[in-house]
């Protein structure tokens, strides 16, 4: 049995005890008194159950106090009046005709208080539960955000990439010292950008594209002729804020699930532009979606959740087959949000 019905039965039993007990104290036990108590319990249960449904249908638990208070008083009065009216024939038997008005007013007042108490308890319980749930929800969101931050820190640079690059560099030192020097500088710049993730929560498109370029140069050491890439950026898009490593991770996924699987390789294209209302980031790569298990790469969901944390739910993110042999990943951020948000904002929690 639910808590609601337990309280209902307990509360109305108490009511029955009172309405049978008080007249018995004054005038002794009579069958009409007992009948009145039992009938009162039944009517009370029935009416308050209807009231509960009515309140829930009308959304009373979510009303502000100013609008709720008059409704509660009116509802209590109506229910109390109905109860008294239905019980009236039985009540009248026990009240002498001479003094009917006084006791009837008292009986109505008692019913009013009882029903009012019922409504307040019911709504109060609802309110407390809601506060509790909202708290839990806030905690859950905070936890999710912290976890995302942590995994972002962990996943910022794929160790596989890092060690492969170092290995290539080791070979390059004897083969092409100049290029080795350039690559060390590039790796340093990329690492520096990566470390930003632990300090700043956002970077500019310009910095992010620079880091992505360093990343691609290093991957070129590894893939050589198998990797072609171009970066195409709209000067009007360069100043916008994005989560650090966002574009780099999109590109890393494009290489990992696209280029690395193709023995002959292919190209990766990065385009960032702005339309009147949005900032667009598109990464296309050779390959097919069918052989790209998204769940395997931690990078993709990670970037997505960081985007959501930063810009809220209005960010759109789409991975699709653009051409038979080309996959595109599109991120669209509304400019209104992109411009104003320079730090992580928590999506407002709403409880249904």
Partner 1 sequence: MRALIIDDERLARTELRRLLSQHPEVEIVGEAQNATEARRAIDDVEPDILFLDVQMPGETGFDLLASLESVPLVVFTTAYDEYALRAFEVSALDYLIKPIDPTRLASTMERLLVTWRAGARDRLSEEPGTDRASAPLSPHDRVFVTEGERSWLVELGSIRLFESDGSYTRVFFGQEKPLINRSLNQLEARLDERVFFRANRSQIINLKAVRDIHPWFGGRLMAELEGGREVTLSRRRARVFRELMSV
Tell me which residue has tokens 């948000």: 341
Check: CB of residue 133 under 8 Å from CB of residue 69: no
Select from 224, 223, 217, 275 the least CA-distant residue to 248: 217
Stretch that binds partner 1, among 15-23, 134-142, 154-162, 314-322 (CB under 8 A): 154-162
**x/- map, 9-48, partner 1, by CB under 8 A:** ----------------------------------------
168 makes contact with partner 1 (CB under 8 A): yes
**Total number of residues shown for the chain:** 352
Residue 343 is given by DSSP the state S
Q: Count of residues binding partner 1 (CB under 8 A)?
A: 23
Sole window of 35-43, 85-93, 158-166, 245-253 interacting with partner 1 (rule: CB under 8 A) = 158-166
Nearest distance in Å: CB 176, partner 1: 10
The least CB distance from residue 327 to partner 1, in Å, is 16
Per CB under 8 A, 174 contacts partner 1: yes
For 79-133, the DSSP string reads HHHHHHHHHHHHHHHHS-GGG-HHHHHHHHHHHHHHHHHHHHHHHHHHHHHHHHH
Q: Residue 286 in contact with residue 326, Cβ under 8 Å?
A: yes
Contact by Cβ (8 Å): 155, 298: yes
The answer to whether residue 221 forms part of the interface with partner 1 (CB under 8 A) is yes
For partner 1, the closer of residues 3 and 290 by Cβ is 290
Positions in 277-316 near partner 1 (CB under 8 A): none
Binding mask 222-251 for partner 1 (x = CB under 8 A): xxx-x-------------------------
Which of these ranges, 48-56, 66-74, 159-167, 301-309, lies near partner 1 under the rule CB under 8 A?
Answer: 159-167
**Shortest CB 166 distance to partner 1, Å:** 5
266-274/278-286 β-pairing: antiparallel
User: Is 167 an interacting residue with respect to partner 1 (CB under 8 A)?
Assistant: yes
Q: Are strands 278-286 and 326-334 parallel, antiparallel or unpaired?
A: antiparallel
CB 75 within 8 A of CB 119: yes
Residue 170 near partner 1 by CB under 8 A: yes
What residues does 167 pair with on adjacent strands? none
**Contact set with partner 1 (CB under 8 A):** 159-160, 162-164, 166-172, 174-175, 221-224, 226, 260-263
């Amino acid at each position: 049995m639910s808590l609601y019905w337990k309280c209902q039965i307990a509360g109305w039993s108490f009511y029955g005890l009172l309405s049978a007990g008080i007249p018995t104290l004054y005038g002794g036990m009579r069958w009409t008194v007992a009948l009145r108590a039992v009938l009162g319990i039944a009517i009370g249960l029935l009416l308050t159950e209807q009231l509960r449904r009515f309140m829930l249908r009308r959304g009373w638990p979510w009303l502000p106090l100013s609008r709720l208070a008059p409704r509660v008083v009116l509802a209590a009065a109506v229910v109390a009046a109905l109860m008294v009216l239905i019980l009236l024939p039985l009540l009248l038997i026990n009240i002498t005709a001479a003094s009917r008005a006084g006791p009837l007013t008292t009986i109505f007042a008692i019913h009013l208080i009882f029903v009012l108490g019922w409504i307040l308890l019911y709504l109060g319980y609802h309110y407390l539960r809601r506060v509790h749930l909202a708290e839990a929800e806030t905690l859950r969101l905070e936890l999710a955000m912290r976890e995302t931050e942590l995994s972002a820190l962990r996943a910022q640079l794929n160790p596989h990439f890092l060690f492969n690059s170092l290995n290539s560099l080791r070979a390059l030192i004897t083969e092409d010292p100049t290029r080795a020097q350039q690559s060390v500088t590039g790796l340093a710049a990329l690492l520096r950008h990566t470390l930003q993730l632990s300090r700043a929560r956002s970077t500019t498109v310009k910095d992010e594209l620079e880091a992505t370029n360093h990343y691609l140069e290093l991957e070129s050491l590894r893939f050589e002729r198998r990797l072609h890439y171009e970066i195409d950026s709209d000067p009007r898009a360069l100043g916008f804020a994005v989560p650090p490593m966002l574009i780099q991770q999109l590109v890393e996924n494009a290489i990992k699930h696209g280029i690395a699987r193709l023995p002959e390789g292919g190209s990766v294209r990065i385009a960032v532009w702005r339309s009147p209302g949005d900032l667009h980031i598109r990464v296309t790569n050779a390959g097919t979606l069918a052989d790209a298990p998204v769940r395997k790469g931690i990078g993709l969901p990670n970037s997505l959740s960081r985007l959501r944390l930063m810009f809220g739910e209005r960010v759109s993110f789409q991975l699709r087959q653009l051409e038979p042999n080309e996959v595109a990943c599109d991120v669209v951020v509304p400019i209104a949000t992109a411009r104003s948000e320079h730090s992580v904002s928590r999506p407002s929690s709403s409880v249904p």
